[in-house]
A and B are shown apart, each in its own frame.
Chain A
Amino acid sequence: MSDRLLKPAVSKTLGWLSLGSLIVLALFGLWGAPPDAVQSDAQRLMYLHVPAAWIAYLAFGVTALGSALWLWPRTRATVWDRVAGASAELGVIFTALTLVLGSLWGRPVWGVWWAWDARLVTTAVLFFLYLGYLALRRIPASPDARAKRCAIAALIAFVDVPIVHFSVNWWRTLHQQGTVFNERLDAKIHGVMAFTLWFGVLAFTLLYAFLLDRRYRLLALDEDREEREVEQAIAERVGALTP
């Protein structure tokens, strides 16, 4: 059945697990982990920014995977198109969060709201690639036509991201700007801070899986309803025509 991903009981459990792990993350991130030697408390935003970025890319990958599975005739199934669509919306949200949190982190530490660093720029491009995908998804069409268009668009975008990253990275290293920025992002962290960071990735992954399941459910309900409305409209038309 393509109308849900997880059984309700599993979904609920996942939801509680996510919430629990996010609370633990907050405890560690805001209190348990020590302030950084250089950045002091601003460091605490890293525990959200980095996991958000990971999940944004994960969501993007899932959208690409779902798109590929739908396009491949032998694995084509409604579920993959819906997974792609649901994951894309999550991806936009996490990408936007990544960018905003990055700004909030960068301002107190480096004095700037934005920097032309390869990772940030690539994330910004990723945001716009997704946004275009969502715009494409909203256009009414037969489910198969829309799925095909969206799947191809998602794969084009997926192929483009490494090219963007590579070219921007190259560009920025040639200009040697923002090296301090880069250094701090790559700074080795240890102990409780490292644990909190990894735990953050775990918590966000659980949350992503849970939200994916719920968003999928909503998508399935909406698309099924649309299909019924179209069938109904056709039936009424036919009924009006036949004597």
Chain B
Amino acid sequence: MQLSIVVPLYNEEQSVLPMYETIVRAVDPLTISYEIIFIDDGSRDETFARAAVLAEKDRRLRVIKFRRNCGQTPAMAAGIDHACGEIIVTLDGDLQNDPNDIGSFLVEIARGYDIVVGWRVDRQDRLLTRKIPSRIANWLIGRVTGVPISDNGCSLKAYRAAVIKRVPLYSEMHRFIPAMASITGARIKEIAVRHHARRFGTSKYGLSRIWRVLLDLLTIKTLVSFASRPMRCFTLIGIPLLLGGAVWMALAAHHALSGVSRPVVIESAIGLISLAGGAFLVSLGVLAEMVNWASDADVAKRPLEAMLRVEHGGPASHAPDDGTLHKGGGFEPY
């Protein structure tokens, strides 16, 4: 199987059929083998029933039904886990993404990129509540994570399956997939996509998520910068605190001994607090290092096999030079 198309659906009963039809109409001419995976994220309307009707007739369509509403990221994670294709394309179930763009995504993957991200250049959404906050968020995400993506919120993305299946997807991390994937060393490309105004249903987003996005950003920043060496993250703050506290303590001791009339108790107390804080942070760093060491998750420890450009020398072998990746079969780089 060459391509899997993953579509999370939540209360999108009206979009199911048009979605399916546009996907089929867009992908059939590409003459590749593909499958469509609809994920019903605990909808309370007819979404599942309508998708099930379609699945009865089409062998390429699979429908995964959740017991309850789990959220967009888990829905995508489920689709990605169950996908069989070598390339996985995700798109929103609200018809705002255009399946006709899938072809250009596949071209970029063939050129050797691991992740291709859509960029809704001409976005059809409310300016004040959707576009402006999203602009700010994208700028911030780019600055903090060091992965400058113009449009993190666009669901239309294409991945090399071997890469995305190893990227941890949980909570509301779908907004940060490029940043998360960059931990593993993925090559990321951004292309412009079409965007349509919402035809059915209502948007499931609001402005209330700013605080959560900020905290997530802190998490991502820590993970991107320090996932392979967490101790450094904590000692970076811990050691200065430790040293500062020690210096302050020494000063307080000096003042006390030399009889200068200064509030020695307060000075030494502040020194003690920073000392304790620093020591706490450093030991937390050790703990974090242990967690990392004890876990078998190698996401942050080494690049994925599928991302390596491996060339085997010798007269018998030939490395393809058409820009696609040559997967080194059985070759262990470490």
Do A and B assemble together? no
